[in-house]
């Protein structure tokens, strides 16, 4: 197997932030930079052992000679299972593009395994105090406590609203549980909107990069003003959804 032609930063590990419960920090993104110092066009793919727990943009592409690209890796709002925390890894797979080949997907299908260049990075999870979750000696009891802390954190957010002297409900415990679930749902919706915003920004960036190429005119026209308007509206949509759900939560304590 040939040596990796791309320069990869960071070189050995990708760091992610988690809270004390072992849940990925909401909205935190880690970046990986790929640089092509060679005189050849290089195709690349980003792979991971936990594809359902990370959003990678872009996860594949083409690097012209002496060019670079930043890869955004955003964790999903899920827990890091202590039993699999050492198994989270990323791999950069690349190959020098054959002369005259324009169909990238076909190149990946036809390429010989001995032409592929692989580079692996491990994942490191850091808590707010800077401790490394990979090295923590978690016990079974501690694991169970960690799983409950996310629900407690959401409940604390709701309890802070009750300090405004709202009238008490006869079924306070039931209302509190419902409100807690709505806060968790709100966080998930916010994460989805962040990922969609990131995806639209990536499409807009690709559109700008393709302006100079005559062969990419059709692709450029496939993204019209509608996409640009969607990107501009994403923060407002997220704010509107957040305000609507917050109003529902507060309303439960007023009624």
What string of pLDDT tens digits covers the 255 residues of the chain?
678 899 999 999 999 998 878 888 888 899 999 999 999 999 999 999 999 999 999 999 999 999 999 999 999 988 888 777 788 999 999 999 988 877 888 889 888 888 899 999 999 988 876 556 555 444 333 444 444 454 545 555 555 545 545 444 456 666 677 777 776 777 777 777 777 777 777 777 777 666 655 544 444 444 555 555 555 556 556 666 666 666 666 665 555
Token pair 């036809």 in the structure block, residue: 110
For position 96, what pLDDT does the model report? 92
13, β-bridge pairs: 122
Residue 1 inside a domain? The answer is no
What token pair was written down for 132? Answer: 């490394």
Identify whether residues 162 and 186 lie together within a single domain. yes
For position 80, what pLDDT does the model report? 84
* Single pTM value for the model: 0.52
Residue ranges making up the domain that contains 170: 139-254
For position 73, what pLDDT does the model report? 96
Which three-class secondary structure state does DSSP give residue 140? helix
Q: How far is CA 160 from the centre of its chain?
A: 29
99-120 core/surface letters (b: 16 or more CB in 10 A; e: else): eeeeeeeebeeebeeeeebebe
Alpha-carbon distance of 248 to 179, in angstroms, equals: 9
CATH of the domain at 45: 2.60.40.10
Strands 13-17 and 117-126 come out as: parallel
Identify whether residues 100 and 153 lie together within a single domain. no
Residue 132 inside a domain? The answer is no
Residue 71 inside a domain? The answer is yes
């Amino acid at each position: 197997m040939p040596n990796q032609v791309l320069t990869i930063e960071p070189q050995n590990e990708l760091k992610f932030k988690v809270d004390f419960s072992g849940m990925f920090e909401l909205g935190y993104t880690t970046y990986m930079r790929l640089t092509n110092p060679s005189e050849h066009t290089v195709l690349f793919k980003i792979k991971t052992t936990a594809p359902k727990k990370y959003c990678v943009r872009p996860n594949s592409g083409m690097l012209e000679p002496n060019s670079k690209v930043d890869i955004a890796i955003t964790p999903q709002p899920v827990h890091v299972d202590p039993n699999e925390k050492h198994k989270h890894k990323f791999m950069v797979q690349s190959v020098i593009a054959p002369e005259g080949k324009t169909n990238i997907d076909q190149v990946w299908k036809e390429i010989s395994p001995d032409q592929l260049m692989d580079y692996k990075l491990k994942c490191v999870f850091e808590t707010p105090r800077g401790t490394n979750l990979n090295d923590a000696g978690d016990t079974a009891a501690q694991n169970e406590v960690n799983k409950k802390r996310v629900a407690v954190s959401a409940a604390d957010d709701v309890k802070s609203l009750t300090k405004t002297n709202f009238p008490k409900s006869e079924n306070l415990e039931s209302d509190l549980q419902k409100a807690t679930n709505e806060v968790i749902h709100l966080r998930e919706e916010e994460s989805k909107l962040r990922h969609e915003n990131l995806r639209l920004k990536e499409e807009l960036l690709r559109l700008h990069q393709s302006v100079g190429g005559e062969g990419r005119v059709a692709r450029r026209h496939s993204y019209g003003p509608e996409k640009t308007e969607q990107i501009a509206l994403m923060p407002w949509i997220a704010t509107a959804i957040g305000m609507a759900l917050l109003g529902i939560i507060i309303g439960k304590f007023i009624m």
